[in-house]
Amino acid sequence: MPQEQNYDVIIVGAGAAGLYAALNLEKEAKVLLLSKKELALSNSSLAQGGVASVVYRENDDPELHFQDTLIAGKHQNNPDAVRVLVNEGPQDVLNIQRLGVDFDLAGDGRIQMTLEAGHSRHRIAHHKDSTGKEIVDKLLYRVKRLANVTILENALLFSLTKTENGFYAGVQHQGEAFYAGASYVLLATGGIGRIYQYTTNSAIATGDGIMFAHELGAEIKHLSWIQFHPTAFAAEKDRERFLISEAVRGEGANLLNCYGAHFTSKYDSRGDLAPRDVVSNAIMQEMAATGSDRFYLDITYKDPDFLKSRFPMIYERCLTEGIDITSDWIPVFPCQHYLMGGINVDLNARTRVSRLYAAGECSHTGVHGRNRLASNSLLEALVFGRRAAQDISAHLKREQPPLGPAPEQVNLGGKPMHHGYRTKIREILQNAYFVIPKPEAFQEGLSTVNQILQELETGGYARGQDFVEAKSAAVCAKIILSEVLNENDA
């Protein structure tokens, strides 16, 4: 790889938003797609339930999807963004089907739609219980065939520098560091789950894109709007916990307490199919009432062959943990799952930094409000990834001025990172800002995070992946704790 390469567009992230954006950019654009780890590793690929959209209108309407999204989001959504999502989303779902995504089909050959919590209609298109992986795999196959896209796997973004007419991205790849210039950058770096002790997120989700956008002056909005999924598998050891999809409850699973009793209807009339934050809160309240953190999903009354066919991935994953979902209750507990806030963008995914875009979970479109409605995440990634690509393409058709000189090559060497920093940040957030926050822990946590940031900047550490991820975690934790402190004081 040469020490300097110039592109029209750099896309950072290889999940649904980044891949779909690459497919929607004009084919004359020279594109660099960076994947921090293996190409198959992204939060998108872990999405199980499906993608929500009103593809068929016989018994549904985008207005119903709009209202369901607002209700789940506590009416703190951006209604303009929600209307874009529900009105344009169906076409994107049909488009990715044309691109090869193998949605499960009903007997009439149309996409089979299922129900998930918070939805008033069956409108979730799915591929078994591994919809995200199916979408990412098929989009990636298409992107790899594009002659205008260069893909770098296991490529770390270690710096992002603004010039008058674009950016220079500092990239580490295969043991060497270089600068890649581009007129436009799209950040599609996923969420922040790895700054918590327990998360459903993949190893890429350390908030890197949010940290770089923050350093460039982009607005970071509602980073404290974090969704905790009520039914992650309650593994004994693993920090990354696999999700027991909302679709399992949609198909009739019952959520039980330590006594095997149904309890959610005590806290909300919608019971097990209330929005995620409501069910998570119900679990935490029931834990306080019973003194036990043991909770279960029971779907054993369903036909075993149906369960194995409908949820093959969940069935196999649970088996590896010694649980047969056809005969055993599934142990579950709330877990960090999704970020509703992030890099603030407009309806075309533009940040307030000229030529910088963001899409997918790292962005804040305002679609989700305070709580994301099930299966709106993949839809948001598709709709706003496409919109970013279309907006960038429109600008690329005009004459592009030169970027200017690249930054001087920096010395990335230094002493090895102290791994305790990220561990401490995870402990702070898990304690202070989980399902039911502890305001008394905010200020002390923020003070510790500020100290960690200071030590990172002055410690002389090597500027590799460990440093970037520790700094990203610290910056995100600082923003979250500052936000909730300000809210608490208001």
Domain boundaries, the chain: 4-191+340-396, 233-333, 411-490
pLDDT of the residue at 73? 94
pLDDT of the residue at 238? 64
Q: CA of 314: how far to CAs of 182, 308, 392, 433, in Å?
A: 41, 9, 39, 28
pLDDT of the residue at 45? 59
Q: What are phi and psi of 340, to 5 degrees?
A: -85, -30
Cβ neighbors of 112 (< 8 A, separation 6 or more) are 103, 104, 105, 106, 125, 126
pLDDT of the residue at 1? 45
- C-alpha 143/C-alpha 15 separation (Å) is 12
Provide the percentage of residues in the chain whose pLDDT is more than 90. 80
Name the active-site residue from 276, 355, 422, 463: 276
* Residue 4 confidence class, pLDDT cut points 50, 70, 90: low
Q: HSE, CB side, 13 Å, CA atoms: give it for residue 86.
A: 23
pLDDT of the residue at 47? 61
- C-alpha 324/C-alpha 334 separation (Å) is 21
2 has pLDDT over 50: no
Superfamily designation of domain 4-191+340-396: FAD/NAD(P)-binding domain (3.50.50.60)
The mean pLDDT value for 244-267 works out to: 93
DSSP letters of 455-472? Answer: HHHHS-B--SHHHHHHHH
Q: pLDDT tens across 33-91, in order?
A: 999 988 776 656 566 679 999 999 999 999 999 999 999 999 999 999 999 999 999 99
Residue of 424 and 198 predicted with greater confidence = 424
Q: HSE, CB side, 13 Å, CA atoms: give it for residue 487.
A: 14
- C-alpha 483/C-alpha 470 separation (Å) is 20
257 has pLDDT over 60: yes
Q: Would you tell me which CATH number, out of the four given (3.60.21.10, 3.30.70.270, 3.90.25.10, 3.90.700.10), belongs to the domain 233-333?
A: 3.90.700.10
Q: pLDDT tens across 367-377, in order?
A: 999 999 989 99
Contact 349, 385 (CB under 8 A): yes
The mean-pLDDT minimum among 1-10, 261-270, 422-431 falls in 1-10
Q: pLDDT tens across 334-380, in order?
A: 999 999 999 999 999 999 999 999 999 999 999 999 999 989 999 99
pLDDT of the residue at 43? 53
Q: What is the CATH number of domain 411-490?
A: 1.20.58.100
Provide the percentage of residues in the chain whose pLDDT is more than 70. 96
pLDDT of the residue at 129? 79
Catalytic residue at 276? yes
* Residue 398 confidence class, pLDDT cut points 50, 70, 90: confident
Residue of 143 and 200 predicted with greater confidence = 143
477 has pLDDT over 90: yes
The mean pLDDT value for 109-121 works out to: 91
pLDDT of the residue at 60? 97
The mean pLDDT value for 165-178 works out to: 93
148-176: b or e for each residue (b if 16 or more CB lie within 10 Å)?
ebbbbbebbbbbbbbbeebbbbbbbeeee
Size of the chain, expressed as the number of residues it contains = 490
Kindly report the average pLDDT of the chain as a whole number: 92
Q: CA of 368: how far to CAs of 189, 270, 375, 476, in Å?
A: 18, 20, 11, 19
Q: pLDDT tens across 454-473, in order?
A: 999 999 999 899 999 999 99
